[in-house]
Copies of this chain bind each other. A is one copy, B any other.
Amino acid sequence: MSILKNDRFLKALARQPVDATPIWVMRQAGRYLPEYRATRAKAGSFLNLCKNPELACEVTLQPIDRFELDAAIIFSDILTVPDAMGLGLYFSEGEGPRFERPVRTEDDVNRLFVPDAEDSLGYVMDAIRVTRKAIAGRVPLIGFSGSPWTLATYMVEGGSSKNYSIVKAMMFDRPDLMHKLLDVTARAVIDYLNAQIAAGAQAIQIFDTWGGELSPRDYREFSLKYMDQIVRGLKCENEGRAVPVILFTKRGGQCLEHIADTGCDALGLDWTTDLAAARERVGERVALQGNMDPALLYASNERIRQEVKDILGVYAGEPGHVFNLGHGIHPEVDPEKMKVLVDAVHEFSAA
């Protein structure tokens, strides 16, 4: 493996001093980039793009080639895991992701199994291997998964949901069944992420997109508990270097102390939590990643630069901060705004 030339991101996650604050952006390989849309068109479908290691590598590197980002994140989808568990993932135009066989009954839950990651999700590991070669040590490569609760919402609802009525009814009325579903999903995620690490992922992020839809009590019991299980189940080292884990619960700002208790290395923050307050609450225990409002990228360059300065001011050069948006970059954003953002983070934090 090539020597890592830029390890700011890994150092910041370990709360070690860096020459400038590292930045990567959720969904940095995505629809706001014309070159992404071209590769996506070439692939024919979103799932083809995920399942073709060469094309997945291509889109993973596009934002790295265009901007001075400090980390890449492997291009994939969180729903590949339930797909490998036999649920039949497909995408219907305008409706988003759907499962052919949603999990609704006790029998459905009992049929779930931990898939062999290299076998049924080998295309992700192949994409990681191809990308690690192509990236040639320029920046570290992040692997990822959805949280078990977040995956469960899609598995039970059969797709995206507005009110989470089916999955929450199962959670409220059959907590035993829900725990069984979450446990097998957590074990599948552990195997999957360890295979990603073995294939070359140098850091891991868990996306808990829908944990914030739960009450704090239910969040701890049905979402955080299984992220905790994952943190404890992951290989923490590879290629002689620690593999840090970032937990990102969207809308999880009221539960930061509990998230930090898992022993993860960093918390991802959305923009609805004050970074300075979060640092005060948990910043001695973990690094923090975030948390600019993605809508700032609709503002003027000067306003973006001002915001970057304000956010960087919270750490003021002290270690433990990875810059990111508080949520994925919106598809309508002008890529030039991304350049303004990335350059401002480096310029102001190096100064």
A interface, CB within 8 angstroms of B: 163-166, 168-169, 172-173, 212-218, 251, 253-254, 271-274, 277, 293-296, 298-300, 303, 307, 330, 332
Known pairs A172-B298, A299-B172; A215 contacts B254 (CB<8 A): no
A173 is contacted by which of B165, B274, B294, B303 (Cβ under 8 Å)?
Answer: B303
Residues of chain B with a CB closer than 8 A to A300's CB: 172-173
Bound Cα distance from A295 to B253, whole angstroms:
21
Q: Supply 18 A–B pairs (Cβ within 8 Å), ascending by A.
A: A163-B295, A165-B295, A168-B298, A169-B299, A172-B299, A173-B299, A173-B303, A214-B272, A214-B293, A215-B271, A215-B274, A216-B272, A216-B273, A216-B274, A217-B274, A251-B272, A253-B254, A254-B273
Known pairs A215-B271, A254-B273; A296 contacts B163 (CB<8 A): no
Residues of chain B with a CB closer than 8 A to A274's CB: 215-217, 254
What are the 9 closest A-B residue pairs judged by CB atoms, nearest first? A172-B299, A168-B295, A169-B298, A216-B274, A165-B298, A215-B271, A172-B303, A173-B299, A173-B300
- Shortest Cβ distance from A188 into chain B, in angstroms? 26
Query: How many copies of the polypeptide does the oligomer hold?
Result: 2
Is there an interface contact between A330 and B165, defined as CB atoms closer than 8 Å? Answer: yes
- Shortest Cβ distance from A249 into chain B, in angstroms? 11
Is there an interface contact between A172 and B214, defined as CB atoms closer than 8 Å? Answer: no
Q: Nearest CB to that of A302 among chain B residues?
A: B173
Is there an interface contact between B212 and A294, defined as CB atoms closer than 8 Å? Answer: no
Bound Cα distance from A212 to B212, whole angstroms:
13
Q: A163-B330, A169-B298, A254-B272 are in contact. List 4 more A-B contacts (CB 8 A).
A: A169-B295, A172-B307, A254-B274, A254-B277
Bound Cα distance from A217 to B271, whole angstroms:
10
- Shortest Cβ distance from A27 into chain B, in angstroms? 13
Is there an interface contact between A294 and B163, defined as CB atoms closer than 8 Å? Answer: yes
Residues of chain B with a CB closer than 8 A to A254's CB: 253-254, 272-274, 277
Q: Nearest CB to that of A274 among chain B residues?
A: B216
Residues of chain B with a CB closer than 8 A to A166's CB: 298
Residues of chain B with a CB closer than 8 A to A307's CB: 172
- Shortest Cβ distance from A21 into chain B, in angstroms? 19
Bound Cα distance from A293 to B222, whole angstroms:
15
Q: Nearest CB to that of A215 among chain B residues?
A: B271
Bound Cα distance from A304 to B294, whole angstroms:
38
Is there an interface contact between B296 and A172, defined as CB atoms closer than 8 Å? Answer: yes
- Shortest Cβ distance from A295 into chain B, in angstroms? 4
Q: Nearest CB to that of A278 among chain B residues?
A: B254
Bound Cα distance from A213 to B272, whole angstroms:
7
Residues of chain B with a CB closer than 8 A to A299's CB: 168-169, 172-173
Is there an interface contact between B212 and A164, defined as CB atoms closer than 8 Å? Answer: no
Residues of chain B with a CB closer than 8 A to A169's CB: 295, 298-299
